[in-house]
Amino acid sequence: MGRPPCCDEIGVKKGPWSPEEDEKLLDYITKHGSGNWKTVPKHAGLNRCGKSCRLRWTNYLRSDIKRGSFTQEEEQLIINLHSVLGNKWSKIATHLPGRTDNEIKNLWNTQIRKKLLQMGIDPETHSPRTDLKHLMNLSQLLAISNNNNNNNLMHMSPWAHSGLGLQQPDVAHQLLAQQMQVLNNVLQLINGNSLSLLPNIQSLINNPLDAFVNGINTNTSLEPFLRGEETYGNPSLVLPAQSDVSKSLETEAKAPIPSSSNSSGSDMFNNQIPSHSHNSSSTFDPWEKLLEDDDASDSFWKEILDLTSDSTSPRRFLVED
DNA sequence: AAAACCTTCAACCGCTTCATA
DNA sequence: CTATGAAGCGGTTGAAGGTTT
């Protein structure tokens, strides 16, 4: 025998709510309040289970539900709160009046998550992405870029002369900029957050085509790493989830993000990494916690051993999707 | 014009937490 | 302290609408 259905009644209606059902539920709750949800459908004259009624009320019929798309400020707040709270949608929703946990969850899964991934940020950990698939894309892109002659690239792109934002970069160049961001992230991790290998990487990110023209050969540093020849022991490559970060960080997450002088429109994501993600103390707090936790520590070191045990095979990263 | 594919989001499922007897 | 039922929560699904081929 499996688990019994959530409702005592067999044959209760499921699926989308009709306007008539909405009206009945709204009318009943307005007059009597919800009380015991299990009894609501019976009293309201609905052939639904109480759970379904509660969900319909909290996610749709409540008068304080805010309609319409999310603002940039709301999205930013969600990202910041998620970096502290993780997938605690109901907790996140308490900081956004009029928004439901379901709505926020949907927004995260359908839009924000994708944007973060494109930017080279792991939406689970809010740390730079280091998964193999993304790195291979980067490797291919760099190879293509280096195989093309620089004049062609210059000719193709007015963006290279004007810098980001002055002219709309085409899709390929936006992609390139995103890949450069990933490269930067990886190198930061390798170098312990210093940029010593490529001191002018930031200019490369800001204006990648000019950087190529000026002779930065990113393959020099990256390819050995991609081939697995570069030794690394930086645990940041598999940063643990920060879902258990102190609740006090919620306050920090809610703090307004300083606006960048050159950010505009979709550039809101350029500065979205919460400050504590790059703050050395809070970044390593989960690590200290991890190392204190025997079970978690065991599994972590086991994973490291798995990663390093086969030196002949390509380096295995966190592969997703 | 139509089929295939993609995206969104309301709603469901089942597990966990909480309150109460 | 334990058992039970209700409420809360997060993951998942699938229909509907939109977009691309």
Residue A217 lies in a domain: yes
**Mean pLDDT on A6-32:** 84
Are residues A47 and A100 both part of a single domain? no
The residue from A232, A253, A284 where one domain ends is: A232
pLDDT of residue A33: 87
| Cβ atoms A216, A181 nearer than 8 A | no
Q: Which of A60-81 are b and which e, b meaning 16 or more Cβ less than 10 Å from the residue's Cβ? A: ebeeeeeeeebeeebbbbbbbb
Q: Is the C-beta atom of A88 closer than 7 angstroms to strand B?
A: no
Q: Is the C-beta atom of A243 closer than 7 angstroms to strand C?
A: no
Say which residues have a Cβ less than 8 Å from residue A275's Cβ, sequence separation at least 6: A252
In angstroms, the CA of A279 and the C1' of B17 are apart by 34
Residue A238 lies in a domain: no
Q: Is the C-beta atom of A11 closer than 7 angstroms to strand B?
A: no
Strand C bases, protein C-beta under 7 A: 5-12
Q: Count the domains in chain A.
A: 3
Are residues A78 and A139 both part of a single domain? no
Summarize pLDDT for A283-306 with one digit per residue, the tens: 333 333 433 343 443 444 344 334
Query: A281 pLDDT exceeds 70?
Result: no
Q: Is the C-beta atom of A37 closer than 7 angstroms to strand C?
A: yes
Residue A279 lies in a domain: no
CATH code for the domain of A47: 1.10.10.60
Strand B bases, protein C-beta under 7 A: 7-15
Beta bridge partners of A167: A164
DSSP state of A236: G
Residue with nearest Cα to nucleotide C9 C1':
A90
**Phi/psi at A215 (5° precision):** 95, 15
CA atoms A289, A295, A301, A303: torsion sign: negative
Residue A215 lies in a domain: yes
CA atoms A311, A315, A320, A321: torsion sign: negative
Instruction: For residues A145 and A176, give the distance between their C-alpha atoms in angstroms, rounded to a whole number.
Output: 9
- C-alpha distances (whole Å) from A228 to each of A23, A117, A127, A288 are 63, 23, 21, 27
Are residues A92 and A157 both part of a single domain? no
Summarize pLDDT for A140-174 with one digit per residue, the tens: 555 555 555 444 433 333 333 323 232 334 445 55
Residue with nearest Cα to nucleotide B15 C1':
A3
DSSP string for A259-299:
PPTT--GGGGGGG-S-GGGS-HHHHHHHHHHHHH-HHHHHH
Instruction: For residues A293 and A291, give the distance between their C-alpha atoms in angstroms, rounded to a whole number.
Output: 5
Are residues A143 and A209 both part of a single domain? yes
| Cβ atoms A141, A174 nearer than 8 A | no
Are residues A159 and A217 both part of a single domain? yes
Residue A256 lies in a domain: no
Instruction: For residues A178 and A137, give the distance between their C-alpha atoms in angstroms, rounded to a whole number.
Output: 11
CA atoms A218, A221, A227, A233: torsion sign: negative
In chain A, DSSP assigns E strands to none
Are residues A153 and A226 both part of a single domain? yes
The residue from A118, A150, A183 where one domain ends is: A118
Residue A43 lies in a domain: yes
Query: Which of A82-96, A123-137, A263-277 shows the lowest mean pLDDT across its residues?
Result: A263-277
Are residues A145 and A228 both part of a single domain? yes
Residue A93 lies in a domain: yes
- Domain hosting A76: range is 72-118
In angstroms, the CA of A319 and the C1' of C20 are apart by 29
**Phi/psi at A167 (5° precision):** -130, 155
Say which residues have a Cβ less than 8 Å from residue A198's Cβ, sequence separation at least 6: A187, A204, A216, A218, A221
For A114-118, the CB contacts below 8 A with 24+ separation are: A115/A269, A116/A79, A116/A269, A116/A272, A118/A178
Are residues A158 and A184 both part of a single domain? yes
Q: Is the C-beta atom of A19 closer than 7 angstroms to strand B?
A: no
Q: Is the C-beta atom of A36 closer than 7 angstroms to strand C?
A: yes
pLDDT of residue A119: 82
Helix, strand or coil, per DSSP, at residue A251: helix
Query: A108 pLDDT exceeds 80?
Result: yes
Q: Is the C-beta atom of A51 closer than 7 angstroms to strand B?
A: yes
Are residues A204 and A163 both part of a single domain? yes
| Cβ atoms A27, A44 nearer than 8 A | yes
Are residues A171 and A225 both part of a single domain? yes
Identity of residue A135: L
The residue from A175, A204, A232 where one domain ends is: A232
Q: Is the C-beta atom of A14 closer than 7 angstroms to strand B?
A: yes
Q: Is the C-beta atom of A101 closer than 7 angstroms to strand C?
A: yes
Residue A257 lies in a domain: no
Query: A120 pLDDT exceeds 70?
Result: yes
Say which residues have a Cβ less than 8 Å from residue A5's Cβ, sequence separation at least 6: none
In angstroms, the CA of A228 and the C1' of C2 are apart by 56
Are residues A57 and A85 both part of a single domain? no
Q: Which nucleotide is nearest to A36 (CA to C1')?
A: C6
Are residues A178 and A215 both part of a single domain? yes
Q: How many percent of chain A have pLDDT more than 90?
A: 24
pLDDT of residue A90: 92
Query: Which of A84-98, A107-121, A127-141, A176-190 shows the lowest mean pLDDT across its residues?
Result: A176-190
**Mean pLDDT on A212-237:** 33
| Cβ atoms A128, A188 nearer than 8 A | yes
In angstroms, the CA of A123 and the C1' of C5 are apart by 37
pLDDT of residue A230: 31
**Mean pLDDT on A88-97:** 92
Q: Which two tokens stand for residue A170?
A: 């085409």
The more confident residue out of A251 and A53 is A53
